[in-house]
Amino acid sequence: MEIWKENPYYWEYNGKPVLLLGGSDEDNLFNDPRLMHNLETLQRCGGNYIRCTLSSRDEGNVWPYEKVGELYDLNRFNPEYWARLDRCLREAQRGEIIVQIEIWATFDFYRDNWLVNPFNPALNVNYTTETTRLETEWDHHPARKPQPFFHSPLALNDDRVLRTYQEVFVRKVLDTSLGYPNVLYCLDNETSAPPEWAWYWAQLIHAEVRKRSASIQLTEMWDDHDLRGPQHRATYEHPEFFSFFEISQNNWQVGQAHHDRIMWARDAVANQEGGIRPLNNVKVYARLDHAPPSREVNINRFWRNIFSGCASTRFHRLPGGIGLDEDAQAMIRAARRFTEAFDLFHCEPRSDLLSDREPDGAYCLAILAQVYALYFPRGGKVRLAIDNPDRALKLRWFDPWTAEFGKPETITADGSVILQSPDTEQIWLALIQASPT
């Protein structure tokens, strides 16, 4: 994967810009028997993006280490684990599917999962609580109290014994994955670890990649739901470490705020020394704070990410999202067909062109004087400013549930045009393109 030079908010794969669209039944598909079913289903509906947490906590998963008697030996890798990861990357590459790996599966190291994790000093032959800073129980939520596993760098606990085994694990991940061109890397899953943790691993990984004469695209995923918070600064203010901005936690935001925070993030990366970078959403939630999951909310966040100029959007697994169910497949199929009907990759989010608009009423992507793509979360009416009123325009409404365009209409505009969706019962999209002169 490379960042597309013509518009660095997007990715390039096999020499072409690409929008990453995805969903899956599980986040650690490499370790799950549904791998091939998910990859094949995703391909059929036009998807090209999966999440790959290096997690082993689900039934049927294997851990990365072998046992010696009743205890794990962190010097002995489990061949089955690494074969599964290699197979996932290989099969995804065949289908031109991008895999976003998360190296440290945060929740594998907390609560009940820590009680079965090979890194637990009670479960391996390599160290004890006396020779590391680790404890055998850690009954805390990651957002409330990061455990000592995530404080091993020199600038924190300087736990050299633990860090040695962590480094060996990271090198094994790189040895397994760096040969594949279809991989993006994220250090953690919604971590609340200190920033020194992330910076340490970013430095080590880049050094290892240079030794291998390879290249890598790396990010971090923080827990803070507000992209403007201090945790996220550790990513977007350090382009020397992180080449893209993973903003999935923004998908706790709802409606207009969801879009507005993405606009803030676009400006934040653009104003850094490293300049514009892709904004990825490897998990889009259906959940709301203290409320049951909402299918409608999940679908609207998925589409809003596209119309906010994000490089990727992917439905989170059930029950936090709708995974790769029939509705998710329909939306992925529709998003692929709609975005391939115009030059998405030269568009910019231009909701400022819309007036007579309710908050969260409509969003716009545009190439001025050429293309205007609109998204209506609940249908409705809006006025669109168009700066070439003397040129004939072609309007087509698009129904995402059928993935079909309606009959084209020729419209004219004296500086603006009012657009009224076919109904207000569902999502609607509109595509306006200038007719050839």
What confidence tens digit (pLDDT) does each residue in 273-286 have?
A: 889 999 999 999 99
Alpha-carbon 260 to chain mean position: 18
Report the percentage of the chain scoring pLDDT > 70: 99
Query: Cα–Cα distance between 77 and 64 in angstroms, integer?
Result: 6
Q: Which long-range contacts (CB under 8 A, 24 or more apart) does 199-202 make?
A: 199/234, 199/238, 199/241, 200/153, 200/154, 200/155, 201/103, 201/170, 202/238, 202/241, 202/242
Per-residue pLDDT for 60 more than 90?
A: yes
Beta bridge partners of 12: 2, 17
Q: Judge contact between 295 and 303, C-beta under 8 A.
A: no
What count of other Cβ atoms lies within 10 Å of the Cβ of residue 435?
A: 10
Task: In whole angstroms, give the CA distance from residue 368 to residue 347.
Answer: 9
Q: Is the pLDDT of residue 413 over 90?
A: no
Here the tokens at position 148 are: 């000592």
Reported as a single tens digit per residue, the pLDDT across 156-176 is 999 999 999 999 999 999 999
Q: Name all domains of the chain by residue range, CATH numbers in brackets.
A: 2-340 (3.20.20.80), 348-434 (2.60.40)
The alpha carbons of the chain give a radius of gyration, in whole angstroms, of: 23
Q: Is the separation of the CB atoms in 434 and 421 below 8 Å? A: no
CA–CA separation, 295 and 286 (whole Å): 6
3 state SS of 414: coil
pLDDT tens-digit readout, 219-247:
999 999 999 999 999 999 999 999 999 99
The pLDDT value recorded for residue 291 is: 80
Is 255:270 a contact under the CB 8 Å cutoff?
A: no
Average pLDDT over residues 77-83: 98
The pLDDT score that the predictor gives to residue 197 is 97
What pLDDT, on the 0 to 100 scale, is given for residue 436?
Answer: 64
Q: How sure is the predictor about 390, in pLDDT bands with cuts at 50, 70 and 90?
A: low
Mean pLDDT (the chain) is: 96
Confidence category of residue 289, pLDDT binned at 50, 70, 90 = confident
CA angle 428, 430, 436 (to 5 degrees): 165
Smallest Cα–Cα separation from 86: which of 99, 74, 102?
Answer: 99
Show the tokens assigned to 211. Answer: 């030794």
- Could you count the other beta carbons within 10 Å of the beta carbon of residue 373? 25
CA 97 to chain CA centroid, nearest Å: 13
Measure the CA–CA gap between 20 and 46, rounded to whole angstroms.
10
Which residues have a Cβ under 8 Å from the Cβ of 385 and sit 6 or more positions away?
Answer: 353, 354, 355, 415, 416
Strand partners for 102: 53, 186
- 171's tokens: 């090198």
